[in-house]
Amino acid sequence: MSVEIKPYQSYSAGDIIPLYAAVGWTNYTASPEMLAEAYRNSLCVLGAYDGDKLVGIIRAVGDGASIVFVQDLLVLPDYQRRGIGARLLKTLMEQYADVYQFELLTDDTPKTTSFYEALGFTPADRLGCRAYIKMKTPAE
């Protein structure tokens, strides 16, 4: 298997929605218009391709100088544990090598902790920081 990492050029719901559904990100699949708008407004989107098949994606937002926020990083389940997610993240970090800070929010599981720490990320609380988030609730 030779997976290529390259810019994701044009949003296609036919590619993206099944990818998000495959990893169970239903908040995105339930709001396809919001997801399409999010992609249009992203700083950078890179895809992982097995031939013509999109098997992974990384989407970043931010200004590209002081901050890059990794919004989405996902890989089809059949392609996970093959280094594709790490390659996507490393490619993004190389593209923005001079940025002041990379940030992300993720699940607090041993799997995600070891993945991101192996790539040089530090939990915010270890830096004397606290992360805050306000999410829109279904009633809003």
SS (H, E, C) 23-86: CCCHHHHCCHHHHHHHHHCCCEEEEEEECCEEEEEEEEEECCCCEEEEEEEEECHHHCCCCHHH
**Residue 40's domain spans which residues?**
3-104
Amino acid 140: pLDDT: 61
Assess if residue 70 is contained within a domain.
Answer: yes
Assess if residue 37 is contained within a domain.
Answer: yes
Assess if residue 123 is contained within a domain.
Answer: no
67-99 residues labelled b (16+ CB within 10 A) or e (exposed): bbebbbbbbbeebeeeebbebbbebbbeebeeb
Assess if residue 30 is contained within a domain.
Answer: yes
- The CATH number that applies at residue 68 is 3.40.630.30
Amino acid 137: pLDDT: 74
Question: What total of structural domains would you count in the chain?
Answer: 1
Amino acid 135: pLDDT: 84
Amino acid 48: pLDDT: 98
Assess if residue 33 is contained within a domain.
Answer: yes
Assess if residue 119 is contained within a domain.
Answer: no
Low-confidence ranges of the chain (pLDDT < 50): none
